[in-house]
Amino acid sequence: MSGAASSPTPLRAAALARVPALRAAHPGAFRRLGPGQRLALALLLGGTLLLGLGIWRLEIAPARLLAGLGDLAHFVTLMLPPDPGSWAQFRGILAALAETLAIAFLGTLLAAVIALPLGLLAARNATLHALVRFAARRLLDGIRGIDALIWALIWVSVVGLGPFAGVLAIMTSDIGTFGKLFSEAIEAADRRPQEGVVAAGGSGVARLRYGVLPQVLPVMAGQVLYLFESNTRSSTIIGIVGAGGIGLTLAEMIRTLEWQSVSCIVLLILLMVAAIDQLSSRLRRRLAGG
Amino acid sequence: MSHGGARPQREAEARLAPLAGAWRSHRRQRRRRALLAAGLVLALLWLAAWVAQVDPRLIWSKGGNVFGYFDRLLTLEGGAEAGARVWHDPAEWFWGWRRWLRLLGDTLLMAYLGTLFGALGGLLGGLLAAGNIGPGRALRWTVTRGLEVCRTVPDIVFALVFVIAFGLGPLPGVLALTIHTLGALGKQVTELVENVDMRPVEGVVATGAAWPQMAGFAVVPQVLPGFLGYALLRFEINVRSAAVLGFVGAGGIGQDLIEAIRKFYYNDVAALLVLIILTVVLIDAVTSRLRFRLLEGHAA
Amino acid sequence: MLELQGLTRRFGAATAVDAVDLRVPEGQMLGIIGRSGAGKSTLLRMINRLTEPSAGRILHHGRDVTALRGAALRGWRTGCAMIFQQFNLVPRLDVLTNVLLGRLNHLPAWRSLSGAWPEADRAMALSALEQLDIAGLAGQRAGSLSGGQQQRVAIARALVQEPAIILADEPVASLDPRNAMLVMDALADINRRYGIPVLVNIHSLDLARSHCERLVGLAAGRLVFDGPPEALTEEAARRLYGLEAAEAAAAPPQRVPVAA
């Protein structure tokens, strides 16, 4: 305690007197850096070098950062209180939100329907041939590598501006994800019911229909709901490139510096996402329950 | 399977009738519920199609465009072999590779910086927001709400705002990724921290350690492997996001991609897409191997 | 001198510790006995202030430590080192670092968090480990050690806190008989050698009798016995433990000779 610091305790006195002996007996304990620490230090050094490279390449200057932060704080004060502007504009925002939800719903459902056969082909225990499986996997990987926003841009140039491009964008970017999730669910399916069907003389198709599907359908339904949840988030932004939904309005409001409308839209988006999350997680819990 | 008389068979039928009836009614009930669910989904589908103005006839009329577009993506527009498939003349196809690789490098650096800053902030935020070791109720509430906003607002929306505040370029992109990473990782770290073994925490508190030392010595060693795994996963996600932040002027390869798509430079679009996919797949492979090693090391 | 005055802790409607008055003079080895749930752990945890008292006071050399906060509270915790039933080490850190954690409150945060422990602190940690015969394990992960070894690491951590009091909450309840004896011997040795008073919660009557100079008994949160081990007759033990008496008397290990 307080007294201990001023007059050395016997333990400390004994230890200090024996420092050289202790050093000789336990050199490892006195080393500044253990082997693990040395690795950590090397990683730290590498990370810092990369950080320096990034700061230099990406032109991150403190002065610019500070000036921007000042502007940002100003914007935030301008955002309060949230205000849609006019009643007509508010109705427009609500309609765009509904459109956003519709895009997410349609995109998710279409993707699930298309991904089901692809998932079967990519699953180790259901595919026709190893080569087919390999091709299906690479295709799904490639689709997943492209962000929904890129797909939105592509579909806008194919079918024109509007929510239809958005639906296609959500659909295409989800096919990859669904295909992967479905194939994993199928691979993880319990083997015993399948063996039961085969042992009873069932064909390969019968095995999938009665041995695999009953097990994996609830899992897949849960995954569809989960992706619908995440798609309500994605579909709020694809409007930024003109593919329908609230994103278009939001980007317009930001570009025209209508900060009160911006905060109002963001607030409504947060509310919508939270509501969908609630609904979907409740449904998923019921699915998992039976 | 014996050919018994008609009487035993009738008896068996009579005995089984109630069972068969029960099965049938149970099945009917399940069918009815399935039909109801299907009807609901169909009604929602119709409603959604109406709201999103998806016209099946549109699909019919635009169906041809789809193949036409992808066909043009893969057909050389210039050079000696114009008209042939793009892979016949890679030099012509990837004519801008120097610039594109540089932009791709910048994209990766953006993802790295965003992940790094966001992970550090998320670790701190997660420690502050955890219910079991958080230093104070008011601070915890504030941090939790803050993380929620950072996580729920899409990064590209942050990028849109930051581009106006900080000007065009990678800086607003890095900041947008940082904010979003902070929110997402902060939540995950909170969950990790709320599941730590509290005995070491108590042991360190009992030695008279202050909060930062308690967090650093009793909590961080426990959550570190999980945290690093989540951070690597977040880096994968950030690479994908960084590739599109250029759409709103926030740096990286996205700025060239949007220009190529908008101006219908078909071959460039295909080349850029290939580069992006390759990068993403490569990064995924590396980080998933690292995460696997991390889990293995943790188990050992 | 540690003095408890009317120390009480209530959890909802239940009273875990009920108006305990106790004076512990310097250098005493005090065993706190009683059946499980009698309030022994709560009592020790209140002294270290891991659990807040509902009423009463804790005085150390006349200083009231019941309401300390912030740095003063941390100073008090450093001064009364705590040893736990489940050792409460950080399993992923090595043994030496675990012992050095006892020095946390003596150092600025940047030094400990960056791993730049002073040489004197390392020497103290090693000499504490040597004293407990486990200096050879300094580089190992604490989680890979046996229970008995872990508890000795925890004692070393307590020692380097340079404590004025040591509190041990069921230090041997998770150990096999041989290790239980080793750990109790170590505590008694520290008590004798450095004159640090040790308050030890202990379920086993035999170990309590053999290692403590004074025993106090808790039942339903109240102090019901206080005297030297010889005064704890069969009759007194039965009153303290009720039906558990036979078990508490039978459970303790045979005394085995241990190299010091």
Amino acid code (one letter) for C42:
T
Q: Which of C89, C246, C107, C254 is nearest to C178 (CA)?
A: C254
Cα(A33)–Cα(A41) distance, integer angstroms: 9
The count of domains in chain B is: 3
C-alpha A91/C-alpha A89 separation (Å) is: 5
Q: Identify which of C126, C135, C194 has the shortest CB distance to residue A10.
A: C194
Whether residues B68 and B25 share a domain: the answer is no
Pairing outcome for strands C80-83 and C63-64: unpaired
- Tell me: do B133 and B229 sit in the same domain: yes
Alpha carbon distance A226, A204 (integer Å): 30
Exposed, middle or buried by CB within 10 Å (0-12, 13-18, 19+), for B125? buried
Amino acid B175: pLDDT: 95
Nearest chain B Cα distance for residue C88, angstroms? 4
B218 touches C at CB < 8 Å: yes
**DSSP-derived secondary structure for chain A:** -HHHHHS--HHHHHHHHTHHHHHHH-HHHH-SS-HHHHHHHHHHHHHHHHHHHHHHHTT--HHHHHHHHHHHHHHHHHHPSP--SSHHHHHHHHHHHHHHHHHHHHHHHHHHHHHHHHHHHHSTTT-S-HHHHHHHHHHHHHHHHS-HHHHHHHHHHHH-SSHHHHHHHHHHHHHHHHHHHHHHHHHTS-HHHHHHHHHTT--HHHIIIIIIHHHHHHHHHHHHHHHHHHHHHHTTTGGGGTSSSHHHHHHHHHHTT-HHHHHHHHHHHHHHHHHHHHHHHHHHHHHHH-
Chain C closest CA to B294's CA: distance in Å? 14
The answer to whether the Cβ–Cβ distance between A28 and C123 falls below 8 Å is: no
pLDDT at res. B285: 87
Helix (H, G, I), strand (E, B) or coil at B75: strand
- The model's pLDDT over C164-192, given as tens digits with 9 standing for 90+, comes to 999 999 999 989 999 999 999 999 999 99
Query: Residue length, chain C?
Result: 260
Q: How many CB pairs under 8 A join B and C?
A: 83
Q: What are phi and psi of C178, to 5 degrees?
A: -65, -45
Closest-CA distance, A46 to chain C, in angstroms, reads: 18
pLDDT at A120 over 60: yes
Blockwise average pLDDT, block size 10, chain B, 300 residues: 64 82 85 87 87 75 76 79 77 84 94 96 94 86 92 90 92 95 94 93 92 92 91 92 91 90 87 90 88 69
Domain range enclosing B290: 94-299
Is B61 touching A (CB cutoff 8 A)?
no
Q: Are residues B126 and B166 in the same domain?
A: yes
Q: Do B235 and B124 have their domain in common?
A: yes
HEC sequence for chain C: CEEEEEEEEEECCEEEEEEEEEEECCCCEEEEECCCCCCHHHHHHHHCCCCCCCEEEEEECCEECCCCCHHHHHHHHHHEEEECCCCCCCCCCEHHHHHHHHHHHHCCHHHHHCCCCCHHHHHHHHHHHHHCCCHHHCCCEHHHCCHHHHHHHHHHHHHHCCCCEEEEECCCCCCCHHHHHHHHHHHHHHHHHHCCCEEEECCCHHHHHHHCCEEEEEECCEEEEEECHHHCCHHHHHHHHHHHHHHHHHCCCCCCCCCC
B78: amino acid identity, one letter = G
pLDDT recorded at residue C179: 92
pLDDT digits (tens, 9 = 90+) for B199-241: 999 999 999 999 999 999 999 999 998 999 999 999 999 999 9
Find, among A137, A164, A170, A175, the residue nearest to A151 by Cα: A170
Q: Which amino acid is at B74?
A: L
Of the partner residues A50, A51, A244, the one whose CB lies closest to the CB of residue B52:
A244
Q: Structure tokens of B112?
A: 């790295």
Closest-CA residue of chain A to C159: A11
Domain locations in chain C as residue ranges: 2-88+163-250
DSSP string for residues in B221-263: HHHHHHHHHHHHHHHHHHHHHHHHHGGGT-SSTHHHHHHHHHT
**Least Cα separation, residue C27 to chain B (angstroms):** 21
Q: Give Cα A265 to chain centroid, integer Å.
A: 22
**Which subunits have 3 or more CB–CB pairs within 8 Å of chain A?**
B, C
Residue pLDDT, tens place only, B175-196: 999 999 999 999 999 999 999 9
> Which residues have CB under 8 Å from A258's CB, separation 6+?
A85
Contact present, A89 and A261 (Cβ < 8 Å): yes
Chain C contact present for B208, CB below 8 A: yes
Chains with ≥3 Cβ pairs under 8 A against B?
A: A, C
Encode burial over C28-55: b for 16+ CB neighbours within 10 A, e otherwise. Answer: bbbbbbbbeebbbbbbbbbbbbbbebee
**Do B122 and B189 contact (CB within 8 A), yes or no?**
yes
Who has greater pLDDT, A5 or B258?
B258
In this structure, which CATH number among 3.90.420.10, 3.10.20.600, 3.40.50.300, 3.40.50.2300 belongs to the domain C2-88+163-250? 3.40.50.300
Query: Which CA distances in Å does B64 have to A154, B52, B55?
Result: 15, 21, 16
Question: What value does the mean pLDDT of chain A take?
Answer: 83
Best mutation site among C107, C122, C134 for testing chain A: the one with the most A CBs within 10 Å?
C122
Claim to verify: residue B134 and residue B217 sit in the same structural domain = yes
Taking only the tens place, the pLDDT of each residue in A176-229 is 888 888 888 888 777 777 778 888 877 777 777 777 777 888 888 888 888 888
Q: Are residues B158 and B230 in the same domain?
A: yes
What percentage of chain A carries pLDDT values higher than 70? 93
> Does residue B77 share a domain with residue B33?
no
- Rounded Cα distance, B110 and B239, in Å: 8
Domain ranges in chain A are 1-60, 87-289
Is C126 within 8 Å of A37 when comparing Cβ atoms? no
The tokens describing A55, both together, are 């700061």
Each residue's pLDDT tens digit in chain C (260 positions)? 899 999 999 998 889 999 999 999 999 999 999 888 889 999 999 999 999 999 999 999 989 999 888 899 999 999 999 999 999 999 989 999 999 999 999 888 888 888 888 888 999 999 999 999 998 898 889 999 999 999 999 999 999 999 999 999 999 998 999 999 999 999 999 999 999 999 999 988 889 999 999 999 998 889 988 999 988 888 888 878 775 555 555 544 444 444 43
Instruction: Tell me the β-bridge partners of C178.
Output: none
Residue B145 lies in a domain: yes
Cβ C229 vs Cβ C215: under 8 Å: yes
Domain A87-289 has CATH 3.30.420.270: no
User: Distance of alpha carbon C239 from its chain centroid, rounded?
Assistant: 25
Phi-psi region of C28 (alpha: psi -120 to 50; beta: other; left: phi over 0): beta
Residue B124: how many other CB atoms lie within 10 Å = 15
Whole-angstrom distance, CA of residue C256 vs CA of residue A241: 80
Q: Supply the CATH number for residue B266's domain.
A: 1.10.3720.10
For the stretch C103-112, pLDDT in tens is 999 888 888 8
Whether residues B69 and B147 share a domain: the answer is no
What pLDDT was estimated at residue A186? 82
Q: Which site among B207, B211, B217, B227 would you substitute to test the C interface, given the most C Cβ atoms closer than 10 Å to its Cβ?
A: B207
Tokens of C63: 């200083």
Nearest to A169 by CA among A155, A183, A159: A155
